Amino acid sequence: MTTQIKVSPSILSADMAQLGHDLERIANADYIHIDVMDGHFVQNLTFGTGIVKACKSASNIPLDVHLMVTNPDSTVDWYIDAGADLITVHVEASTHLHRTITHIKERGCKAGAVLNPGTPVNVLEDIIDELDMVLLMSVNPGFGGQKFIPRVLEKLRQLRKMCIEHGANPEIEIDGGVSVANAGQLAAAGATVFVAGSAVFGADDPAAAVDAIRAAGKRGCAQQDA
């Protein structure tokens, strides 16, 4: 079966004064990535439910909401109610990960887990079958425009191997330093969803940038070992 490669532009790099316009410019994207940062789990403060609602009303593209918060277990419902289509929560912050993932899915929303660069993939061994997505951070979370951490390539390979061994098929998302230049290599290692902020919204033609990253990912995916 052919792996579907997707691109999820991060509005962290969008112009908030022109958000509706910027979303129109990425109408060919597969997801809209919304980074929710609380100023506690990470040293930055970004979006809340108001931005999620605004994106929901401005676009038909599914909303990929990444919660970088200290209390995901008690706040996921806010973002489901605001219109999230998929919510990812950090393993490092979730006290009851299985319960939270189950609850999100019972609410009719897709659910995923996020790993920071320093967190090994084997912590997902007992829950991989329940996940719609696994998001690997390829930078330390909190700020856009950071440099890609090469060690994450091996984590992608380990995660893909784990999924194959379990017969699980979550989407494997990569976030941090993603561009056309490395999308092929990331896809070859196992990534299927690419979060890109400045590489998309910093381009003269964001839609063309989305297409280029997706195409590079498809080429890399074809190089995966059987």
* 1 domain-assigned: no
pLDDT at 41 over 90: no
Segment 71-88, tens digit of pLDDT: 999 999 999 999 999 999
* 48 domain-assigned: yes
* 226 domain-assigned: no
Active site residue 35: yes
Q: Which of 22, 30, 35, 38 is catalytic?
A: 35
Active site residue 175: yes
Question: Distance (Å, rounded) from C-alpha 186 to C-alpha 152?
Answer: 9
Between 139 and 186, whose confidence is greater?
A: 186
* 28-33 mean pLDDT: 98
* 180 domain-assigned: yes
Number of domains in the chain: 1
Which pLDDT band, with edges at 50, 70 and 90, does 142 fall under? low
Question: Distance (Å, rounded) from C-alpha 75 to C-alpha 226?
Answer: 40
Q: Which of 22, 38, 64, 175 is catalytic?
A: 175
* 170 domain-assigned: yes
Question: What mean pLDDT is reported for the chain?
Answer: 93
* 29-44 mean pLDDT: 92
pLDDT at 2: 59
* 106 domain-assigned: yes
Burial class (CB in 10 A: 0-12, 13-18, 19+), 117: middle
Q: Provide the pairing of β-strand 6-9 with 193-196.
A: parallel
CATH number at residue 199: 3.20.20.70
* 40 domain-assigned: yes
**What range does the domain containing 71 cover?**
6-221
* 139 domain-assigned: yes
Which pLDDT band, with edges at 50, 70 and 90, does 144 fall under? low
* 126-142 mean pLDDT: 91
Between 42 and 132, whose confidence is greater?
A: 132
**What residues contact residue 210 under an 8 Å CB cut-off, 6+ apart?**
7, 9, 26, 28, 29, 196, 200
What is the edge-to-edge ordering of all strands in the sheet holding 193-196?
6-9, 193-196, 171-175, 133-137, 110-115, 86-90, 63-68, 32-37
Which helix (H) or strand (E) is 114 found in, with range?
strand 110-115
pLDDT at 83: 98
Which pLDDT band, with edges at 50, 70 and 90, does 226 fall under? very low
pLDDT at 40: 87
- For the entire predicted model, the pTM comes to 0.94
* 141-157 mean pLDDT: 79
* 6-32 mean pLDDT: 97
